[in-house]
Amino acid sequence: MAKTGPNELLASVDHYFDRAAQFARITPDLVAQVKAVNSVYRFQFPVRQRDGRIRVVSAWRVQHSHHRLPVKGGIRYSPDVNEDEVMGLAALMTYKCAVVDVPFGGAKGGVQIDPHTLDVEQLERVTRRYTAELVKKNFIGPGVDVPAPDYGTGEREMSWIADTYAALNPGSLDAFACVTGKPTSQNGIHGRREATGRGLFFAVREACSQPDDMKRLGLAVGLSDKRVIVQGLGNVGYHAAKFCREGGAVLVGIAEREGAIYSPAGLNEDEVLAHRKATGTILDFPGATNLVRANEALEAECDILIPAALENQITDENAPRIRAKIVLEGANGPTTPEGEAILLHKGILVIPDLYANAGGVTVSYFEWLKNLAHIKFGRLEKRNAQASARRMLQAVEWASGTTFTDRQRADLMPELDEETIVNSGLEETMISAYHDLLATKRRDARIPDLRTAAFINAIEKVGRAYLDLGVFP
């Protein structure tokens, strides 16, 4: 296996793709089209710095696959972002959307800046200018390409993008569907902020409820008491840790940029964040042990390891020392092919990024639907559904001669608020996609792992979509 370096995310995605393609039930020429990166838009624009000087910012938007439109994927702000990385991440988005049946092609954006060193005004200027450049080339729009948050961006940036797009498209009815991950006050959707972390929780809960797999790993069925370590306490890692802990797991370790902490008795992510806010670091958290190297946390004793920071964290260098039984990939591309080979050899269950962290884009899809429909989920049916449930309960009371308590009555009422609908849609998506992966893995004993199964599912779905389009010249 050719060793992949830090700037070779596309090579590593392609490696996983090629391994799966041999099992895919579509023709090789179609496989080549599924793999190809369709469009790369690289551009540079000037931004005035605080000191008055002009700085040239490099930026990208990559559209990997147009088999379905719009294409979809986040925008990354990082000083290290590069074209290869954005291409690899765009390709992953295509496969991710296919795995969870989100009807979009894949895309990704990158802006080569360090958001921590810019003030809010500069960030706004960069974001609005980036958006305007995308508008000029028709690389953004509700039916064309719909960005979202990624590493280094969040709701605030998405609202600037929506506002810039709306200003440049006056009168456009669907302008707000040009980007997802917006604040709820700005046409966003409840549950999007937590969605990736919540999706990770649903994924690992489903994995832990498979008796055969748990037996093979020497673990009890269920998430209860499983020891979790999370790398990265950003939006994804924080929520994954929170939902896993609330679901019965014990959060024993947290790694961040400044270092890592470990406590077999269990940590609370909110308390650790409060400590970080007060002291500037997660280190020296009362009752926890400091780990000297930040990445030492990846190697500490646990059942579930959640890399939720950046790519290339689990490599052939540290994989031999990883003691987790399950690796739940919160980040995109956290495991290199060489690292993965070692994990699989050790019998570790890897729940791959293109499935595990697909909760974010799934709820982005719901947000886009909401924006196009111009109505909140549940608004039309809520009152009617509750009235018919009330009539049904009364009928049961009359027929049985019993009376429900207020608590029972409340429990039996359908909950049709937006967040409940979104979360249940996400839960259904993650559970059924997991079973699709298991079914594909079972179809051939040579399919080695869930990542290969996920890529097979994606390749077949995207390939068939291309055929349905019938657009080949």
Residues designated catalytic: 108
C-beta closer to ligand GLU: residue 299 or 353: 353
Q: In the bound complex, what is the minimum distance in angstroms from residue 91's beta carbon to ligand GLU?
A: 12
The single residue listed with the structure tokens 């559209």 is 63
- Of 87, 148, 309, 354, which lies in the binding site for ligand GLU, with binding defined by CB under 6 A? 148
C-beta closer to ligand GLU: residue 100 or 208: 100
Say if strands 145-149 and 71-77 run parallel, antiparallel, or are unpaired: parallel
Cα distance between residue 169 and residue 175, in whole Å = 7
Q: In the bound complex, what is the minimum distance in angstroms from residue 49's beta carbon to ligand GLU?
A: 28
Say if strands 54-63 and 105-111 run parallel, antiparallel, or are unpaired: antiparallel
92-131 mask for ligand GLU (x: CB under 6 A)? ----------------------------------------
C-beta closer to ligand GLU: residue 263 or 312: 312
Sign of CA pseudo-dihedral 168, 174, 180, 181: positive
Q: In the bound complex, what is the minimum distance in angstroms from residue 367's beta carbon to ligand GLU?
A: 8
379-418 mask for ligand GLU (x: CB under 6 A)? ----------------------------------------
Q: In the bound complex, what is the minimum distance in angstroms from residue 335's beta carbon to ligand GLU?
A: 15
Closest of 176, 59, 180 to residue 127, by C-alpha = 59
40-79 mask for ligand GLU (x: CB under 6 A)? --------------------------------xxx-----
Cβ contacts of 53 within 8 Å, gap of 6 or more: none
The residue sitting closest to ligand GLU, measured at its beta carbon, is 74
Instruction: Write out the binding residues for ligand GLU, residues 310-349 only, by CB under 6 A.
Output: 332
According to the binding rule CB under 6 A, does residue 360 interact with ligand GLU?
Answer: yes
- Of 164, 263, 315, 364, which lies in the binding site for ligand GLU, with binding defined by CB under 6 A? 364
C-beta closer to ligand GLU: residue 82 or 210: 82
C-beta closer to ligand GLU: residue 261 or 454: 454
Query: Which window, 123-131, 256-264, 302-310, 355-363, contacts ligand GLU (CB under 6 A)?
Result: 355-363
How many residues of this chain interact with ligand GLU, rule: CB under 6 A? 12
Instruction: Write out the binding residues for ligand GLU, residues 422-461 only, by CB under 6 A.
Output: none
Cβ contacts of 350 within 8 Å, gap of 6 or more: 326, 327, 329, 335, 340, 343, 344, 449, 450, 451
Cα distance between residue 265 and residue 304, in whole Å = 16
Q: In the bound complex, what is the minimum distance in angstroms from residue 395's beta carbon to ligand GLU?
A: 43
C-beta closer to ligand GLU: residue 180 or 315: 180
Residue 206 near residue 428 (C-beta atoms within 8 A):
no
Q: In the bound complex, what is the minimum distance in angstroms from residue 356's beta carbon to ligand GLU?
A: 10
Instruction: Write out the binding residues for ligand GLU, residues 160-189 only, by CB under 6 A.
Output: 180-181
Q: 412: which 2 tokens? A: 């039996």
Residue 180 near residue 161 (C-beta atoms within 8 A):
no
C-beta closer to ligand GLU: residue 263 or 357: 357
Instruction: Write out the binding residues for ligand GLU, residues 3-22 only, by CB under 6 A.
Output: none
Closest of 91, 306, 104 to residue 200, by C-alpha = 306
Q: How far is CA 449 from CA 341, 347, 371, 456, in A?
A: 10, 10, 37, 11
According to the binding rule CB under 6 A, does residue 85 interact with ligand GLU?
Answer: no
C-beta closer to ligand GLU: residue 97 or 322: 97
| Crossing angle of helices 192-207 and 359-373, rounded to 10° | 140
Q: In the bound complex, what is the minimum distance in angstroms from residue 89's beta carbon to ligand GLU?
A: 7
According to the binding rule CB under 6 A, does residue 150 interact with ligand GLU?
Answer: yes
Q: How far is CA 96 from CA 8, 70, 93, 366, in A?
A: 19, 14, 5, 16
Cα distance between residue 144 and residue 91, in whole Å = 17
Q: 314: which 2 tokens? A: 């689990």
Q: In the bound complex, what is the minimum distance in angstroms from residue 253's beta carbon to ligand GLU?
A: 24
Interacting residues toward ligand GLU by CB under 6 A:
72-74, 148, 150, 180-181, 332, 357, 360-361, 364
